[in-house]
Amino acid sequence: MALNREQKRMLQRQGELGPDGEPLRTKRGPQNQRPKEQRTSPRQFVKEVRGELRKVAWPTRSETINYSIITLITLVIATLLIFGIDWVFSELVLRLFNAK
């Protein structure tokens, strides 16, 4: 396989080629494989999840209400905007083809 200088340099940086440009032989087999990680028990998993949830900065009730109101207002505005643009374009197309 012919490699240009950039490819050779990149492969050397990645450790796949030696300084002379020859491919390095890597051993394949069980010695290069990662050992399997131990599975956690369901009880340990729940403990870790609860520990992580304690670290979360939960919003207060008033913040949740404010964010919900902002979301609903934004949703209404976006819906009205899309409805308005759709209505304008449909009127233009109908007038263009004299369908009315």
Which pTM was predicted?
A: 0.47
Name the pLDDT band for 71 (thresholds 50, 70, 90).
Answer: very high
Residue type for 45, please?
F
Q: How many other CB atoms are found less than 10 A from the CB of residue 11?
A: 16
Question: Rounded to 10 degrees, what is the CA torsion of 39, 40, 42, 46?
Answer: -140
Question: Rounded to 10 degrees, what is the CA torsion of 33, 34, 35, 36?
Answer: -110
Name the pLDDT band for 69 (thresholds 50, 70, 90).
Answer: very high
* Per-residue confidence (pLDDT) for residue 30, from 0 to 100: 57
Say whether pLDDT at 1 is over 80: no
The half-sphere exposure of 19 on its side-chain side, counting CA atoms within 13 A, is: 0
Q: pLDDT of 4-63, one tens digit each?
A: 888 888 888 888 887 777 777 765 555 556 667 788 899 999 999 999 999 999 999 999
